[in-house]
Structures are given as structure tokens and as C-alpha cells.
A and B are shown apart, each in its own frame.
Chain A
Amino acid sequence: MIHSGGPGSLVVIVPAFNEEGAIAGVVRSLHESVPGVPVLVIDDCSSDGTIAAARAAGAEILPLPHHLGLGGCVQAGYKLAYELGFEYVIRVDGDGQHDARDVPRIFEKLKSSGCEMVIGSRFVSENGSRAGAVRSLGIRFFRLVLRPILGKPVHDPTSGFVGVNRRALDVFSRSFPLEYPEIEALVVLQRKRFRFEEVPCKMHPRTTGRSSITAMKSLYYIAHVLLGVFVNVLKYEHRTHRAPRSPGG
């Protein structure tokens, strides 16, 4: 059972959908890397033994009543973490691609920098991590798109290895992109004038299951994310161009 959080408290959330083969290893490695930190697996209505495997490995489970997709799944974890009073949340994917040994560095950066989000990035420094050709192309494209919007470069905008503090948690528990959330979340953050940092992280190749973004879905992914970014930029413009209210209004 997860005890309620408090100042400085951390919870690791792991969104998972049909990750029976990898989830136990992910949970165990998290317990080894950050002992004493609760690990919450949010099961997106898996049809395999994900819940049993995660529970056996020592994770807390938040089972969703039906499949919500990645954004809805992650947001459920953010909402629960916020309600339980945690100050920091780090999201680790359930497929085993993220290295749990990087979690303490993300946590440390969150605390020391005071910024709202810390991204575990494959490309901040040369660390041997490689993305596929199509994904690399997509990442480069979104780097270019995001550079003027965010006002600073982001090396790995599609990374799901992300830590947030309570201010970002407050925003994300109320509003979070539901499909392909990583890139849009950065723009949501920018709208709130929040800051982000990147720390170099290593990513492992997927050993079980398959990525939700197939080659066929890549074009849809790009169009969808571009639309989401565009809509968020429009909201941003609307907010900043509005005339300031008078003290009485």
C-alpha cells in the first residue's frame, strides 16, 4: 500500500498495456535503483498477465476499467499521485526501455533545478542510445518545430522518461494530452511558463511486445501531434494577448 506523500516525496508511475513479459523486470529494477520509493503501475486494461506480474514484483496497481490510451493512462497516475500528496512523480515506461538507474539522477535534477519537468534524454550526450530511422527523422522534425515555441532546444521531445514536480502535476492532473502526449505536454508546460531540463539517459532496445507507433501510424502521429501543438500555441497566443484585467474586474 502506498502511503500518502509529503514534502520531497517521490512516486514512480509506470503506464503499462500488455507488458507481461517486461513489467516485472521494470518494477524490480526500480526497487533496486530507488529503494523505498513506491512504484505504481497503471494498467491500461491489459488482456495478459501484466497486473499479476507487476503485483508479484512488488508494485502497487491502479487498474483502469477500460483501455484509455497512453495519455489517459498516464494522467490517471498523475491524478492519483496528486491526490495522495506526492511532490515529485517520475514516469517510466513499462516496456523496459528506460534504465531505472537513471531515475535517481532525474529525481536529483528535479529537486536541485526547481524546474517543473525533467526529461530523460537519449541525445543530450552521446551515450550509445539509438532510435530507429523513421523515429530519428520524426525527432529531428519536432526539434525544429518546437525550438521557436519553447524558446530553447529540446533534444528528445518524444521521450516518455519524464519527471515532474507538484506544480506540473497540478496542471497535468487537470489537463493532459490523451494521445501521443510527450510533445504536446511540453507545449502545455510552456503555456504555463514552466521550465524543463534534460538529463542524459540510456535507453535499451525493446525486448518484449511491440511499440504502439507502427510505421503505418507514423504519418498519423506526425499530423496528430502537429495539430495538438498548433492548438496549444493558439491557446497560448489567446492567453498572452488578452488585455490585463483591472484590479476590480
Chain B
Amino acid sequence: MDHLLNVTAVLSVLLLAIVLLSLRRAHIRPEYSMSWLLASVVMLVLSRERSVLEFVRLHTGVPDTPLTLFLMAGSVFLVIFFRFSIIISHLRDDNIALAQRLAILEYHIQRLREHEN
């Protein structure tokens, strides 16, 4: 159990470092890094504060502590992925609308040029 918690703590710190480094290099925008920072901090706290993990386990009725940790981590990342799916969907819609607008505006410009000549 301790080994599992230690591995989780190391992975959380690693994730935190990667996200902060990506932020510094502007590879990720701050608004999209918040979910990852929050997830890594939550995982770090759960892996270091065993009492919190036990509290969650007792209140969710999960039979053992490692499974609680696994479920917590899974839930957090599922929420993040779902949030990103929504963001990607919005971006795709915007992207298509912009591409269509660009094409139509170029068409109108071309028409105006032909009209002038």
C-alpha cells in the first residue's frame, strides 16, 4: 500500500512539474493547465495524507484503500477529458464557421475585383 502511495506521489509531482514547465514555455495556456494542476495536487494530497484517503474510502463504501485511490484518480482524469472534449467541440465548431466565413469573404472580394475590372 505504501509503495503504491509513494508511486502515486512521485507521478503527481512529475505531472505538476511537467505542467508548470509547459506553462513557462507557453506550450499550454493557463486556463487549460488549471485542470491538470488541480488533478496533480489532489493526487498528491491523497497519496500523502492517508487519513483523507481513508475518509473518502469510508464515505464511498469502497472495500479497500488502493481501489479508492485508483477510482479517485480515474474519476479526476475522466472529468478532465470530458471538459477537454467540450472545449475541442467548441473549437471545431468555431473553426468550421471561421473557415466558411473566410471562404465566403474571399469569394465576395474576388467578385468585387472582377466587378471593378
Contacts and interface: CB of A to CB of B under 8 A. Distances in A.
Note whether A and B form a binding pair.
yes
Interface of A: 1-2, 62-66, 68, 72, 75-76, 79-80, 83, 178
Interface in B62-101: 96, 99-100
Contact of B103 (A1, A2, A64, A178): A64
Interface residues of B, number: 11
A72 B102 CA distance: 13
Given A68-B100, A76-B103, 17 more contacts: A1-B111, A2-B111, A62-B107, A63-B103, A63-B106, A64-B100, A64-B103, A65-B102, A68-B99, A72-B96, A72-B99, A72-B100, A75-B96, A75-B100, A79-B104, A80-B107, A178-B96
Interface in B16-38: none
17 contacts: A2-B111, A62-B103, A62-B107, A63-B103, A64-B99, A65-B99, A65-B102, A68-B96, A68-B100, A75-B96, A76-B100, A76-B103, A79-B104, A80-B104, A80-B107, A83-B104, A178-B96
Nearest to B104: A80
B2 interface: no
Nearest to A45: B99
Contacts of B102: 65
Interface-centre pick from B102, B103, B106 (highest chain A CB count, 10 A): B103
Nearest to B108: A83
A80 B107 CA distance: 9
Contacts of B103: 62-65, 76
B116 to A, nearest CB: 12
A76 B104 contact: yes
A62 B99 contact: no
B12 to A, nearest CB: 36
A164 to B, nearest CB: 17
A65 B95 CA distance: 11
A66 B99 contact: yes
A84 to B, nearest CB: 9
A138 B100 CA distance: 31
B100 A79 contact: yes
A74 to B, nearest CB: 10
Interface-centre pick from A1, A2, A62, A76 (highest chain B CB count, 10 A): A76
A178 B115 CA distance: 33
A52 to B, nearest CB: 16
A66 B98 CA distance: 11
B48 to A, nearest CB: 42
A76 B115 CA distance: 23
Nearest to B99: A65
A66 B96 CA distance: 9
A80 B111 CA distance: 13
Contacts of B100: 64, 68, 72, 75-76, 79
